[in-house]
Amino acid sequence: MGLELTTKAPMLQILDEEGQVRPGAEPALAPAELRRIYEIMVLARTADAKALKLQRQGRMGTYASSLGHEACQIGTAFPLRPEDYFFPYFRDLGAYLTLGYPLADYYHYWMGNEAGLRTPDGLNLFALAIPVASQIPHAVGAALAAKLRKKTGAAVCTFGDGATSEGDFHEGLNFAGVFRTANVFVCYNNQWAISTPRSRQTASETIAQKAGAYGFPGVQVDGNDVLAVIASVREALDRARAGGGPTLIEAVTYRMGHHTTSDDATRYRTEEEVKAWEPRDPLRRLRIYLRSRGLSDEASEKGVLDAATNAVEKAVAEAESRPPATVDDLFAYTYKNMPPALAEQRTGLKEALKAEAGR
Amino acid sequence: MKITMAQALNQALAQEMARDERYVLLGEDVGPDGGVFRVTDGLIQKFGPERVIDTPLAESGLIGVSIGMAAFGLRPIAEIQFLGFIYPAFNQILSHVARLRNRTRGRYPVPMVIRTPYGAGVRALEHHSESTEALFCQLPGLTVVVPSTPYDAKGLLIASLRSEDPVIFLEPSRLYRGEKQDVPEEPYEVPLRAARTVREGTDVTVIGWGAMVPVMEKAADEAAGRGVSAEILDLRTLSPMDREAVLASVRKTGRAVVVHEAPKTCGLGAEISALISENALLSLRAPVARVTAPDITIPLPKAEDDYYVNPARVLAGILKTMEF
Ligand SMILES: Cc1ncc(C[n+]2csc(CCOP(=O)(O)OP(=O)(O)O)c2C)c(N)n1
Ligand SMILES: [Mg+2]
């Protein structure tokens, strides 16, 4: 007897907490690529810290920190090709930077301007979703469109552990399984959904095992190990592109900061728990690894940090120098062709604002 | 004691839950976190994790499960974290919560309260500021309640909790920590389906609810300075609406301005305007005016003030009506 109820395979790890690699397991990455990954990680961390600082100064809106998620985010986005699609959620700074989204735009959006969410032409990066899990079916639709249009691109979608409780998660993954779409679903399992622990989201042992019920593979990887994330996403992308259907990747990580700047995590989790994750830091691991391979040293690391700091300062200055949306902007994108009654409302609002300014 | 709206709501929940064991509170982050606006602060400590339940992140599940609980012996109080995230549950609300009493010929009514913050003015992220109350007023069987003061918040919530019909209780996020007010310690009800005359006036009736009420009061102060006496009506229950209160006031003043922070088209202002024209046309000395947001997506924080209905716009609506 003893039916095996779970399908738990060991979590994939390549780069351990001490920065040591499992021999032979490293994904093929040229030295320049490894250095690039490190640069983006440093940039992401610097940009994130700056956003938090700006928020405290009243120069940034409510902000969701990506601290601790760098390996998940960068590792997920790094293997993409230009013809692929990315469907992010609100905690994806590292992915945005990896895909070449201008940091000034990212800041501009989080400062409270819709213009910052307009993806530059030529980049298949969908607008980040705030309603939890709502982006998952979109990614399936993009992959289905690619399939029907005989295109080669695969669609990657990210979301949190909390998202796996929503109907959209189940419906999206079910469509993907049924239509064998070229999708890679990456769950950043950071253990918390605001104050709700992972154990309250699902009674299954892993999130990865949910894939089995939809008829495709699921794997659990160390989400603080950028090499493991890259290796698993690459493998999933290769399978997707070869017509092998979707994959669910559960990247196990930890939300090192508060949920957002409006949250106070001390109300519901212990400092010890947070402390226990500090040694698993994704950035530190990669730094040790690069040094051990002779790909970096103290001087080059300082250079990377200085470049990141400069880039961040430039982006802040640029984002802050942009004017806020005009009344015309607020109305212009409601319809392709503006109905006359809406144009009248626009005129009315302009007049009201003029009168109010003169008061 | 002077308390905020958030504290008044917390008091109402604590007192009713202490009075009647059938009340069970459930939602995302309502437990140790006390809800993102702290309205359920301290309740899990008082009532334990079987009566204050942190749920998985799933609104349709949350409301669907509440229906089953309500049909079979409990009185669920479901918190939706923001109105902007209620839509996964809209199916449950429209298809079942609002109509189970009717569908089952009274066999399975589902008395429950769905509480949720809504509205703009707190500089929030996307989907946290919309004002879609009118969607819920289209659902026969559902009671839609919006408080505008701490006193009303406590009394209306208690009345909602004691109602045999399902209630969606919309809490204006902008008012949670707004002006404090003396609120009696003991439990009390503020009746549902009854509007409140915030101030009496003779020239024009200004009708609104929620976070618009303080805006209307400021506008009425300014109007008074110009010799216009505005009567202010806070609807409190949007559906079923206190039609008599609206009509009685308009018959007295002969003019009406409806104010809402939702977009204009098919907002509740349209219903109120129709109500007046159907029943009090001959009392009117001017067309019913609507002061609302334009028919666009609410802007992100940097342009929110441009969009948001303010006292100047309400005053302009009042004066336009007076000058007709
Ligand atoms: C449908 C929906 N419900 C509720 C919320 C409010 N909310 C924002 S983030 C969040 C938790 C998300 O947790 P998770 O999916 O694990 O992602 P994480 O924030 O941990 O990255 C909640 C409940 C929302 N944005 N959308
Ligand atoms: Mg999470």
Residues B21 and B160 reside in one and the same domain: yes
Would you call B148 helix, strand, or coil by DSSP?
Answer: coil
What pairing do the DSSP bridges indicate for beta strands B181-182 and B230-234?
Answer: unpaired
B127, B155, B182 — which closes off a domain? B182
Residues B170 and B220 reside in one and the same domain: no
> Is B191 within a domain?
no
> Is B273 within a domain?
yes
Quick one: pLDDT at residue A9? Answer: 76
Residues B170 and B94 reside in one and the same domain: yes
From chain A, the residues in CB contact with B60 under 8 A are 167
Quick one: pLDDT at residue A7? Answer: 55
Residues B71 and B49 reside in one and the same domain: yes
Q: What is the rounded CA–CA span in Å between residue B74 and residue B161?
A: 12
What is the rounded average pLDDT for all residues in chain A?
96
* Residue A10, number of CB atoms within 10 A of its CB: 6
**Whether B295 contacts B270, CB under 8 Å:** no
Quick one: pLDDT at residue A39? Answer: 98
Q: What is the rounded CA–CA span in Å between residue B180 and residue B273?
A: 33
Provide mean pLDDT across the span A22-31: 95
CA distances from B18 to B12, B23, B100, B178 (A): 10, 9, 28, 27
What pairing do the DSSP bridges indicate for beta strands A247-252 and B2-3?
Answer: unpaired
Residues B37 and B103 reside in one and the same domain: yes
> A259: pLDDT confidence band, cut at 50, 70 and 90?
very high
**A144-165 pLDDT tens trace:** 999 999 999 999 999 999 999 9
DSSP per residue, B109-128: ----EEEEEE-S-S---TTS
Quick one: pLDDT at residue A8? Answer: 66
Asked if the Cβ–Cβ distance from A165 to B297 is below 8 Å, we say no
Residues B141 and B213 reside in one and the same domain: no
Residue percentage of chain B with pLDDT more than 70? 100
> A229: pLDDT confidence band, cut at 50, 70 and 90?
very high
The residue whose two tokens read 């809106």 is A61
* Residue B124, number of CB atoms within 10 A of its CB: 22
Listed residues: CB within 5 A of ion ligand 2: A 160-161, 190, 193
For residue B84, the enclosing domain spans: 2-182
Ligand 2 centroid to residue A253 C-alpha, Å: 9
Residues B100 and B235 reside in one and the same domain: no
Residues B156 and B209 reside in one and the same domain: no
Handedness of CA B30, B36, B39, B45 (dihedral sign): positive
CATH number of the domain that B22 lies in? Answer: 3.40.50.970
Alpha helices in chain B (DSSP H): 5-19, 43-47, 59-71, 90-92, 100-103, 133-137, 150-162, 212-225, 243-253, 268-279, 301-307, 311-323
Residue percentage of chain A with pLDDT more than 90? 97
A107 is catalytic: no
Ligand 1 centroid to residue A92 C-alpha, Å: 13
What is the value of ipTM here, to two decimals?
A: 0.96
> Is B187 within a domain?
no
* Residue B319, number of CB atoms within 10 A of its CB: 18
Quick one: pLDDT at residue A84? Answer: 98
From chain B, the residues in CB contact with A346 under 8 A are 294
Q: Which of B33, B59, B296 sits opposite A268 (nearest CB)?
A: B33
Ranges of chain B with pLDDT below 70: none
What pairing do the DSSP bridges indicate for beta strands A155-160 and A85-87?
Answer: parallel
User: Whose CA is closest to A186, among A150, A147, A226?
Assistant: A226
Q: What is the rounded CA–CA span in Å between residue B76 and residue B93?
A: 14
Confidence check: pLDDT of A5 > 80: no
Q: What is the rounded CA–CA span in Å between residue B237 and residue B256?
A: 19
**A96-127 pLDDT tens trace:** 999 999 999 999 999 999 999 999 999 999 99
A146 touches chain B (CB under 8 A): no
B128 is catalytic: yes
Quick one: pLDDT at residue A2? Answer: 45
> Is B190 within a domain?
no
> A358: pLDDT confidence band, cut at 50, 70 and 90?
confident
B126, B155, B182 — which closes off a domain? B182
* Interface residues on B facing A, Cβ-Cβ cutoff 8 A: 28-29, 31-34, 36, 54-61, 84-85, 87-88, 123-127, 264, 294-297, 299-304, 306-307, 310, 312-313, 316
Asked if the Cβ–Cβ distance from A194 to B36 is below 8 Å, we say yes
Provide mean pLDDT across the span A201-218: 98
Q: What is the rounded CA–CA span in Å between residue A352 and residue B313?
A: 7
The residue whose two tokens read 């109350």 is B133
Q: What is the rounded CA–CA span in Å between residue A176 and residue B254?
A: 61
> Is B188 within a domain?
no
Q: What is the rounded CA–CA span in Å between residue A25 and residue B147?
A: 61
Where does residue A248 rank: exposed (0-12), middle (13-18), buried (19+ CB within 10 A)?
buried
**Per the structure, how many domains does chain B have?**
2
Ligand 1 binding pocket, CB closer than 6 Å: A 91, 130-132, 159-163, 188, 190, 192-194, 255, 259; B 28, 57, 59, 81, 85, 88
Q: What is the rounded CA–CA span in Å between residue B296 and residue A330?
A: 7
Residues B78 and B126 reside in one and the same domain: yes
Confidence check: pLDDT of A359 > 90: no
Q: For chain A, how many residues are written?
A: 359
Residues B221 and B147 reside in one and the same domain: no
Q: What is the rounded CA–CA span in Å between residue B212 and residue B305?
A: 14
Asked if the Cβ–Cβ distance from A113 to B54 is below 8 Å, we say no
Catalytic residue, from A81, A118, A268, A333: name it.
A268
**A274-321 pLDDT tens trace:** 999 999 999 999 999 999 999 999 999 999 999 999 999 999 999 999
Listed in sequence order, the residues at least 6 apart from B282 whose beta carbon sits closer than 8 Å to its beta carbon are none
Atom 21 of ligand 1, nearest CA residue: A160
CA distances from A219 to A4, A158, A166, A247 (A): 17, 15, 20, 8
> Is B223 within a domain?
yes
> Is B107 within a domain?
yes
Residue percentage of chain A with pLDDT more than 70? 98
From chain B, the residues in CB contact with A261 under 8 A are none
Quick one: pLDDT at residue B294? Answer: 98
Ligand 2 centroid to residue A188 C-alpha, Å: 7
Residues B244 and B313 reside in one and the same domain: yes
Quick one: pLDDT at residue B42? Answer: 98
A279 touches chain B (CB under 8 A): no
CATH number of the domain that B297 lies in? Answer: 3.40.50.920
Two tokens at B211?
A: 């976070």
B116, B150, B182 — which closes off a domain? B182
The residue whose two tokens read 């209905």 is B309
Residues B155 and B222 reside in one and the same domain: no
The residue whose two tokens read 């959620």 is A89
**A57-103 pLDDT tens trace:** 999 999 999 999 999 999 999 999 999 999 999 999 999 999 999 99
Confidence check: pLDDT of A3 > 50: no
Q: What is the rounded CA–CA span in Å between residue A340 and residue A324?
A: 25
> Is B98 within a domain?
yes
Quick one: pLDDT at residue A111? Answer: 98
**Whether B161 contacts B16, CB under 8 Å:** yes
